Amino acid sequence: MYNVFEDKLQALEQAGQFREFKQIPEQSLNLSANDYLGLAADKSLQQQFYAQMNEDTFYQFRCGSTSSRLLSGNHAGYELLEQDLATAYNSEAAIVFNSGYHANIGILPALTTKNDLILSDKLNHASILDGCKLCDAKVLRFRHNDMEHLTSLIEKNRTDYDNIFIIVESVFSMDGDWANLKQLCEIKKKHNAFLLVDEAHGTGLFGENGLGLCEELGLLEEVDMIIGTFGKALASAGAYAICNSVVKKWLINTMRSLIFTTALPPVAVNWNRFVFNKMLNMQNGRQHLKELSEFCRESLKGLYPTAGNSQIIPVITGDNHSALKLSEKVRKNGYTVFAIRPPTVPKGSSRLRISLSAAMKKVELVKLFGIIEEFKNEN
């Protein structure tokens, strides 16, 4: 068995698809993180949080949750966080999960049956694809952001299924482009479908209050379920769903990745509540990040193909080895940007994924574009 694994690992190396854990140099500018608001290294914010800790509040900062939420792992912090989330989104209910992965592998299997149809954007995150695989429902993937293809699949299959579930990311994690949420809402209403939007890369960054692209486009009340995350712009761990109260109760009773896992520790849940409420007023950071993203896209014109209109900027080199070589070159010059290769992205579209943060400045990035231009000229 081990020899078989060795042979397969060698094949991955030859194809330029071998992966391993890496250490991030402290002096390097990290352009591979999802710390979009720059909060992970914000000492003053963390000092404000821990300044609340004393003998009377120590329970809120405990590191152990002891069990699942349905046993002894639930605590007041969870209830307060979910209340704050529901209030912010003007929703009936919210429910918190251990991670975005837990959310995406558990929600669809809990909501759907073999008599339902799931329609998933072809570039949806791997966690969504894994969740679809766990469903008894029929799953079809529509071409990325192709509303005509989506509509044709609905019209062809609508009468064969009890319910149709459409799931997309609001901001796609590898291309940085937006889902066509307005048209998706029109389609779901016309065909009486259920629309789920994963705001993992939109939470904190779009909308007046940072609630995501659904807020930016005025669609908070149109989308049936919004999935947000604490693990990216909010510099923590965990995720949540914004939904109605009936769906929340159903998930508590049927969602396996919620029921059969140890709950988040109180310190994480209370930090999530603290930083979420701070994030609601970080309009300046959101605006700076938008301007920084526009500056980077403009600076990359004429070098390599790019895409999207968000804080995620792909630099598409095409083949695996070019992406790896470019990644190594920029890392030697003080920028941490890792190569993204299949199966994370489609074959022939390997890239560097530049992930920007509101803590960055334009002057820090100018050298990077020169390095990329130099590499292109050499290759």
- Supply the residues annotated as catalytic: 34, 125, 169, 173, 198, 201, 232
To the nearest 10 degrees (0 to 180), the angle between helices 76-88 and 266-279 is 20
Residues with Cβ within 8 Å of 276's Cβ and at least 6 positions away in sequence, in order, are: 81, 84, 85, 88, 230, 234
Classified as helix, coil or strand, 90 is coil
Structure-token pair, residue 151: 């509509």
Three-point CA angle 250, 87, 311, nearest 5°? 95
Structure-token pair, residue 213: 């692209």
Residues with Cβ within 8 Å of 52's Cβ and at least 6 positions away in sequence, in order, are: 60
- Rounded CA-CA distance 121/173 in Å is 12
Q: Characterize the bridge pairing of strands 116-121 and 163-169.
A: parallel
Residues with Cβ within 8 Å of 4's Cβ and at least 6 positions away in sequence, in order, are: none
Q: Which of 175, 196, 200 is nearest to 185 (CA)?
A: 196
- Rounded CA-CA distance 240/226 in Å is 8
Taking CB atoms within 8 Å and a gap of at least 24, the contacts of 323-331 are 323/16, 323/350, 323/351, 323/352, 324/16, 325/375, 325/379, 326/352, 326/372, 326/375, 327/352, 329/371, 329/375, 330/368, 330/371, 330/372, 331/28
Q: Which of 139, 144, 218, 142 is nearest to 179 (CA)?
A: 144
Whether the CB-CB separation of 213 and 206 falls below 8 Å is answered with yes
Q: Using the CB atoms, write b or e for 86-99: b if 16+ within 10 Å.
A: bebbebebbbbbbb
| Number of neighbours of residue 62 by Cβ within 10 angstroms | 15
Lookup result for tokens 């192709």: 146
